[in-house]
Amino acid sequence: MNTESEKEQFLKEFGSDYGYANAPKNIDEIRATEFKRLNDTVYLDHAGATLYSESQMEAVFKDLNSTVYGNPHSQSSCSLASEDIVGKARQQVLSFFNASPREYSCIFTSGATAALKLVGETFPWSSNSSFMYSMENHNSVLGIREYALSKGAAAFAVDIEEGTHVGESESPKSNLKLTQHHIQRRNEGGVLKEGMTGNAYNLFAFPSECNFSGRKFDPNLIKIIKEESERVLESSQYCRGCWLVLIDAAKGCATNPPNLSKFKADFVVFSFYKLFGYPTGLGALIVRNDAAKLMKKTYFSGGTVAAAIADVDFFKRREGVEEFFEDGTISFLSIAAIQHGFKIINMLTTSSIFRHTTSIAAYVRNKLLALKHENGEFVCTLYGLLSSEMGPTVSFNMKRPDGTWYGYREVEKLATLAGIQLRTGCFCNPGACAKYLGLSHLDLLSNIEAGHVCWDDRDILHGKPTGAVRVSFGYMSTFEDAMKFVNFVENNFVISSSNRCALQPRSISLPVEGIAKAAARHFLTSITVYPIKSCAGFSVDQWPLTSTGLLHDREWILKSTTGEILTQKKSHLVARRNCRLNSNPAHLSLKEMKWISKIIDMKSEVTTMRLISGSAGRLIDLALY
């Protein structure tokens, strides 16, 4: 691809959205002066964590080195500096979300997750309450379910189908469709009593932007749920009572912070490192003051208590919303740092950041959608495209010309070699993952049964991907980042006669030219195949490659007769053990025989084990000794 003409083309299409025409520095200057540490790294994981700028950090150091910040709970003059900066920070956060301090309060937490946990912990659950959440939600939101269920409340996920228009329109849509997926109650004694729902409090949670797909959710949902729950939930027994609404803005806040003067959510959570990279370990819960009054708290602590007696069951809480929620000493030095992050965001403006990042994402989406193999088959399947507005996130999987999937791990490993940082897997969002990848409960359970966990290498199970590849963009992302990524995909995964480098099932041998060329500084010195995870492997000079790496490598796991999966971590003996086959060898292919024979060795006491093949779903009984 010719960079110049490609960029010209891009600017023709998106030029008015790309870059920051009204800012003191344009995008190329921002990148060249503020992010020198990136060098040639193409950083495309802003949904995981975005990057802090150099001047932001210089301002933080300067501030900390020139001010004496004491504990804001103390009464000294140094503590006043902290109190002052914390107060300003709260105002800054509220105004970022366009929230009036009369209506909302900013509670500092250790992150979005801690804020979500706080809501779950203090929510006024009863056995007549419901916790409803969109399928697309982060695990940290799903976890609130445990508080709801343990109090006898009902919990269910909903699929939200929106009409054609998404945006900040005034009138809530009437063509919204919610499909419920019920979760079994823990406490069946707490089954809803007719007529008892009037004063129950229910919670509805959705992300402003899905961190799996980039799908943006309509903020009108808040009003619809609060005012029209009977209609949209089709008079289900769970629709009654008072609905409070929570927005998980952890992903969406960098480009579309919820506008709380217009869309009155009760709770909004986010983390600062997703907004401007630094500090980590700090987030906030924006709570509507009226909703805060409903919350129930068990714990008292420094920070939240006005008086307590050590040996009498007596304590008195402090007054005020922040004092109700913030246990202990808040992270005041981190809080002091956020003004320097906001400075950049406010200078560029979130609307420009949104236009800039989504123009890059749209370019990548269009390019990926158009990619075809030589045989005419499309390469990429993109997720979440049906909604009309998308955030700066592109989530996808790729297929080979024969229709089999490339594993996301393979993509990730090659991306790392090419200096591209991206994210793969389910991104802590199991509902979106299952929904977009079309995985049924049965698929999910059998993947778990086969030993698949979120972070492992089993990227394809039973012929289906278990996760996706995600690239996401931040305010300092450039067209050049996007183009390098698109080139990487074209060069490595699109099969055409002119593109012999592309990965297709083939054999590698020493020395491996393709990969050695891709990373001139790296050399392949040996190939070791470990057919059984955590057991001894064997070395070869040459070995076939598959979509997931070396053929049969870590294809099998050891499971004890009690069903426990044995790994080196669980039992260090595994690594030193060897296996003998118990089942009929006639059922094994020549290749399987070959590698199993390599690991049959010495004798000692025998335990029966079962090998489970991840890809073929075959079971083989073995004696482990």
Ligand X SMILES: *Cc1c(COP(=O)(O)O)cnc(C)c1O
Structure tokens at 210: 């899905």
Helices (H), 426-508: 430-437, 441-449, 479-493
- Residue closer to ligand X by CB (options 111, 614) is 111
Q: How far is the CB of 212 from ligand X (least distance, A)?
A: 9
Q: What is the DSSP code string of 277-294?
A: S--SS-EEEEEEHHHHTT
Regarding beta strands 267-271 and 242-248, do their DSSP bridges make them parallel or antiparallel, or are they unpaired?
A: parallel
Which residues, 6+ apart, have CB-to-CB distance to 560 below 8 Å? Answer: 566, 607, 609
Q: How far is the CB of 252 from ligand X (least distance, A)?
A: 7
- Residue closer to ligand X by CB (options 99, 285) is 285
Residues within the interface to ligand X (CB under 6 A): 111-113, 138, 140, 207, 211, 248, 250-251, 271, 274, 283
Q: How far is the CB of 202 from ligand X (least distance, A)?
A: 21
Q: How far is the CB of 205 from ligand X (least distance, A)?
A: 10
- Residue closer to ligand X by CB (options 69, 383) is 383
Q: In Å, how far are 369, 449, 556 from 613, measured between CA atoms?
A: 33, 12, 5
Map residue 23 onto helix, strand or coil. coil
| Residue 428 bears catalytic tag | yes
Q: In Å, how far are 38, 43, 175, 361, 492 from 481, measured between CA atoms?
A: 11, 8, 39, 11, 17
- Residue closer to ligand X by CB (options 281, 463) is 281
C-alpha closest to that of 275 among 427, 39, 40, 96: 96
- Residue closer to ligand X by CB (options 254, 483) is 254
Give the number of residues written for the chain.
625
Q: How far is the CB of 119 from ligand X (least distance, A)?
A: 12
The residues that bridge with 540 in the sheet, in sequence order, are: 527
- Residue closer to ligand X by CB (options 279, 531) is 279
Q: Phi/psi of residue 624, each to 5°?
A: -105, 130
Distance CA 369, CA 364 (A): 8
Q: How far is the CB of 282 from ligand X (least distance, A)?
A: 9
User: Out of 428, 433, 535, 579, which one is annotated catalytic?
Assistant: 428
184 CB-contact burial (10 Å; exposed 0-12 / middle 13-18 / buried 19+): exposed
497 CB-contact burial (10 Å; exposed 0-12 / middle 13-18 / buried 19+): exposed
Angle formed by the axes of helices 3-14 and 479-493, to 10°? Answer: 120
Catalytic residues: 428
